[in-house]
């Protein structure tokens, strides 16, 4: 079993829809949770960063962490075609520990 599981999709939704992307994990020691966005033929870029449990909002994006369920989510409101990309979750125990990535979910927003 992988430490971090993420549905690879693909996920296709109409413009303006609310998108929900999710990851589950097995290591209860993870404390730092990230979402990266990766456009085609580009490197991943950090989108959201959360420490421990709770919610964090940044514009149209909300990251949610539920450590009791070992489940993290990224919500995109009022989705735009420019949000079409692969979204990767990542997490770490912190300190000098390395990031562990999910497989990535390919998202397409249709105009």
Partner 1 sequence: NAGVTQTPKFQVLKTGQSMTLQCAQDMNHNSMYWYRQDPGMGLRLIYYSASEGTTDKGEVPNGYNVSRLNKREFSLRLESAAPSQTSVYFCASSGLQGISGNTIYFGEGSWLTVV
Residues that bind partner 1 in the complex, under the rule CB under 8 A: 4, 6, 8, 32, 34, 41-46, 49, 51, 88, 90, 92, 94-99, 101-104
Alpha carbons within 13 A on the beta-carbon side of 102: 30
Q: Terminus-to-terminus CA distance in the chain, angstroms?
A: 37
Considering the complex, what minimum distance in angstroms separates the CB of residue 52 from partner 1?
12
3-state helix, strand, coil in the chain (%, to 5): 5, 55, 40
Cβ proximity to partner 1, 63 vs 90, nearer residue: 90
Angle at 22 between CA 67 and CA 13, to 5 degrees: 155
In angstroms, rounded to a whole number, what is the distance separating the alpha carbons of residues 51 and 10?
28
Cβ proximity to partner 1, 17 vs 103, nearer residue: 103
Placement of tokens 């420490």 in the chain: 51
Cβ proximity to partner 1, 17 vs 93, nearer residue: 93
Considering the complex, what minimum distance in angstroms separates the CB of residue 62 from partner 1?
19
Considering the complex, what minimum distance in angstroms separates the CB of residue 14 from partner 1?
26
Cβ proximity to partner 1, 17 vs 73, nearer residue: 73
């Amino acid at each position: 079993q992988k430490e971090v599981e993420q549905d690879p999709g693909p996920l296709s939704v109409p413009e303006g829809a609310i998108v929900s992307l999710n990851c589950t994990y097995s290591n209860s020691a993870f404390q730092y949770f990230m979402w990266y966005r990766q456009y085609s033929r580009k490197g991943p870029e950090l989108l959201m960063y959360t420490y421990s449990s709770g919610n964090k909002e940044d514009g149209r994006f909300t990251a949610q962490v539920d450590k009791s369920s070992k489940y993290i989510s990224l919500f995109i409101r009022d989705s735009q075609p420019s949000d079409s990309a692969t979204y990767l979750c990542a997490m770490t125990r912190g300190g000098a520990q390395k990031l562990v990535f999910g497989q990535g979910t390919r998202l397409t927003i249709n105009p």
